[in-house]
Amino acid sequence: MTDDEALALGRAWTDETPWDVLTALTELDDRFAGHDGERRAAEIAADAFADAGARDATVESFDLPVWTRGDCSLRVTAPTERAFEAISLPYAPSAEIAGRLVDVGYGTEDDFEDADVEDTVALASTDSPPGGRLVHRMEKYGRAVDHGAAGFVFYNHKDGQLPPTGSLRFGREGEIPAVGVSTETGDWLCEYADRDGAVELAVDADTAPGEGANAHAILGPNTDEEVVVLAHHDAHDIAEGALDNGCGVATVVAATRVLADLDLDCRVRVATVGAEEVGLQGSHALAETLDPESVRAVVNVDGAGRYRTMRAFTHGIPEFGDALDAVSERTGHPIEVEETVHPYSDHWPFLRAGAPAVQLHSVTPERGRGWGHTHADTRDKADSRVIREHGMLAALLVRRLTRESVPRPDQSALRERLLDREMRPGMEAADVWPADWD
């Protein structure tokens, strides 16, 4: 380890600024896309970048269909009558519907083929089949729409009276009303579905033109090429958004404060983006302002800073794995490297534009989102030590990427990797399979 790295990392080890940033983010009423809290989050990030020594810190707006939550109700009408707590899912349209309740389990393609959901309310778990790939919420909703369901109920598989949230479509209003309910409510609804039960579902919501906000700043020399480091600062409006993705923002701030003390071989753009939770809208806006040929690499910090061991998704680019292994060996800190490729975070717009991108995440104690996308995503779940450590690891990775070239993703190879993982049917159901790949 070089002298400047040792000094920078030593200072970072006791730096409470990243935790202060997480605190400021989680103290906001909410950071939902297009609302006042999201812009305030961007301003907090820009101020933190400037305080770290980055230059040209700025907040920029981008156009966004803004969804606003209203009232929501779910009532069983047969074989008994009772009401349950439910929350509407982002981009759900306003509607009042009634229908038979049909349990589609994990919401896989086979589950829907085995069920007749036309004009019914489809009931799906947040869980995925054991041993199989993760089945995204948007896939399940998309299949419900494609099979003619009148409504969609998404029930948590994690105990604790925690209804889940999550966007139904990327950047546009959905076709049918949808709500999230707790696992305890889901247990009742699955029983009622077995007894030919029926429900009434009502959602009041609004989707209107508005704006999201991105923040970014510059470190290092003014070179033609740059490494982009970003995290999304928006969060769902039902909780503090500490883990998803306040910890990611705090990790980028921690990395920025280390990088500001290091000699860098090319420009580094540190950024936080809005509207990730409703369709990667902020990262799309940022990617469109940059020349993809000038982007040496993108480091997407979505999920890092949550749990002790870092996990990285390299999207099939082995050179990222080599760089991460080198950082792990130098620091004695384990980093799990996976070749996984997926389209559900802010690396995706850059990969599609031809820029190599890696996602930094955490090894989670359980499969799935855990506390994320629920009322329980609160600051008490976070750990300042983990945020500092992941910030230091991210900084060392970024410095390495300013010195080493990473090959640009080949779009045909990217497509083939997704086909090999049998991702196409789910991405088509979620309406995110690229049209130019057909």
| Predicted pLDDT at 2 | 81
Does the residue 35 lie in any domain? yes
Distances (CA, A) of 108 to 103, 114, 126, 145, 197: 12, 10, 11, 13, 22
| Predicted pLDDT at 3 | 78
Low-confidence ranges of the chain (pLDDT < 50): none
Same domain, 59 and 137: no
Question: Residues near 292 by Cβ (< 8 Å), separated by ≥ 6?
Answer: 350, 353, 354, 355
Does the residue 164 lie in any domain? yes
Four-residue CA torsion sign, 63, 300, 351, 298: positive
Could you give the 3-state DSSP secondary structure of residue 418?
A: helix
Packed helices 318-331 and 384-401: angle between N→C axes, nearest 10 degrees = 120
- pTM, two decimal places: 0.96
Same domain, 200 and 236: no
For tokens 């923002």, what's the residue? 249
Same domain, 252 and 188: no
Cα of first residue to Cα of last residue in the chain, in angstroms, is: 48
Does the residue 433 lie in any domain? no
The two beta strands, 55-78 and 82-84, are antiparallel
| Predicted pLDDT at 366 | 73
**CA-CA-CA-CA dihedral for 104, 190, 157, 419, to nearest 10:** 0
Same domain, 119 and 268: no
Does the residue 375 lie in any domain? yes
Does the residue 58 lie in any domain? yes
Same domain, 186 and 279: no
Number of domains in the chain: 2
Same domain, 203 and 218: no
CATH number (domain holding residue 184): 3.50.30.30
Same domain, 199 and 232: no
Same domain, 79 and 187: yes
The amino acid at 70: G
| Predicted pLDDT at 381 | 96
Query: Do residues 70 and 165 lie in contact, with contact meaning Cβ atoms separated by under 8 Å?
Result: no
Same domain, 245 and 374: yes
Q: What is the DSSP string of 94-137?
A: PEEEEEEEEE-TT--HHHHHTS--TTSEEEEES---TTS----H
Domain boundary among 207, 228, 256: 207
- What are φ and ψ of residue 261, in 5° steps? -100, 5
| Predicted pLDDT at 365 | 78
Same domain, 246 and 393: yes
The amino acid at 125: S
Q: Burial letters for 12-28: b for 16+ Cβ neighbours within 10 Å, e otherwise?
A: beebebbbebbbbbbeb
The amino acid at 412: S
Domain boundary among 207, 231, 260: 207
Q: Burial letters for 29-54: b for 16+ Cβ neighbours within 10 Å, e otherwise?
A: ebbbbbbebbbbbbbbbbbbbbebeb
CATH number (domain holding residue 17): 3.40.630.10
Does the residue 437 lie in any domain? no
SS3 per-residue string spanning 225-289: CEEEEEEECCCCCCCCCHHHHHHHHHHHHHHHHHHCCCCCCCEEEEEEECCCCCCCHHHHHHHHH
Does the residue 425 lie in any domain? no
Same domain, 214 and 334: yes
Same domain, 111 and 222: no
Query: Do residues 310 and 393 lie in contact, with contact meaning Cβ atoms separated by under 8 Å?
Result: yes
Does the residue 299 lie in any domain? yes
Residue range(s) defining the domain that contains residue 180: 70-207
| Predicted pLDDT at 1 | 74
Domain boundary among 162, 184, 207: 207
